A = this chain, B = another copy of it.
């Protein structure tokens, strides 16, 4: 069983390094300038409420926040939050009366089916945490992995409100004995004629995650929109987006992981050319990460505030260093705004006098245990979890 929990240790290899990192300089030409990838199409009809000028529409189901907007504030406006759907969502009618949505709780001493209205009277909590797609940063891998070529904008920090899963489970008598996993099942309709296991959005996480998880009906003080999983979404702070099951219909505790393809085969950290299976780590906890979002193209020379965002790592990001010479030298940045807890991101700003010319700006975050971003991210087949600071660096011109 321990291998299922292995992501935590393996990601240390995949996505973190000891605090003393390489000081090798990055030449301007070797840094990718990915500040403003071109937008493909326009916002789909049901997402017209989104902020067009802050988003890049890759497809109707894959919409990215522009780097200039990704991490601008401690809380991401919903209008600017990325959209990523694996399959088609339920009809909009499910959010017309959110309180009537029901969820089945299984693998507990007293299984129950409860409506959102009932959940709301049991307990309530608000948690700020980063929602990030496993493939965020995929474009920074050199092997051109399959999947959406996200740069930094498949991530946002959201203030969720809902019922703590631990309070709900306590009310239902506790988890049945021997359960090692908590499994959420999404309410997406399964098209007829298909093997449900190949389509269902069903993800298992270590049972301990119930201590921090929320069943959320609100985001940023508003009823959760359909695009982000309303009426009810499982939120697991610190875990990649795919585990945060939208329109959740079932929460079950069991001794084995789900056999659904999205759990057993997909979202696995596999070597290049490898096929996903349970022998490889699942996309669970997010490694430490940071990026600069301003400036990302040009800026006036002279006094400049270099701004960005950092998050993740065991215990949350605690500090971040900035380089204006492609990694040859580093200085600490100032943290900006309130600390919204270990699962939220933190904005940073670095005050510097930039002479005219090209500059390669990089950021490198460190958590409270001394884990920091690696210089390079070891490639994995599907291009998950990129957090290498060198590829996230950006070349700008001061005029």
Contact = CB atoms under 8 A, between A and B. Distances in A.
Interface in A83-141: 120-128
Contact of A220 (B77, B161, B307, B340): B77
A72 interface: yes
A11 interface: no
Q: By CB atoms of chain B within 10 A, which of A79, A120, A340, A351 has the most?
A: A340
A10 interface: no
Contacts of A222: 73, 77, 79
A272 to B, nearest CB: 38
A305 B123 contact: yes
Interface in A302-318: 302-305, 307
A70 to B, nearest CB: 11
Given A336-B125, A338-B127, A338-B128, A75 B159 contact: yes
A73 B125 contact: no
A398 to B, nearest CB: 12
Contacts of A124: 305, 307, 336, 349
A121 B352 CA distance: 9
A336 B307 CA distance: 30
A92 B159 CA distance: 30
Contact of A121 (B75, B80, B123, B304): B304
A344 interface: yes
Copies of the protein in its oligomer: 2
A221 B72 contact: yes
Nearest to A78: B77
Contact of A338 (B73, B126, B336, B349): B126
Contacts of A126: 73-74, 336-338, 347
A351 B337 CA distance: 32
Contacts of A340: 338, 340
A94 to B, nearest CB: 19
B73 A221 contact: yes
Contacts of A337: 125-128, 159, 161
Contacts of A121: 300, 302-305
A254 interface: no
Given A161-B337, A305-B124, A338-B128, A220 B351 contact: no
Nearest to A300: B121
A147 interface: no
A190 to B, nearest CB: 34
Contacts of A336: 124-126, 161
Given A123-B305, A128-B338, 9 more contacts: A73-B159, A122-B303, A126-B337, A126-B347, A127-B337, A159-B337, A159-B338, A161-B337, A338-B340
14 contacts: A73-B161, A73-B220, A74-B221, A75-B159, A77-B222, A80-B221, A121-B302, A121-B305, A122-B303, A122-B305, A123-B305, A128-B337, A159-B337, A338-B338
